[in-house]
Structure 1
Amino acid sequence: MKIESRTCKLDSLKTMQIFIDTSSLEIFINEGEETFTARYFPKLKEKEILFSREGRFDLMKWDLA
Structure 2
Amino acid sequence: MADGTTFLTVAEVAEQIRVSKMTVYRLVHSGEIEAIRVGRSFRVSEEAVRAYLERSFYEAG
* TM > 0.5: no
Q: TM-score, normalised by structure 2?
A: 0.23
Structure number with larger C-alpha Rg: 1
Q: Which has the higher contact order (CA 8 A, sep 6+)?
A: 2
Q: TM-score, normalised by structure 1?
A: 0.22
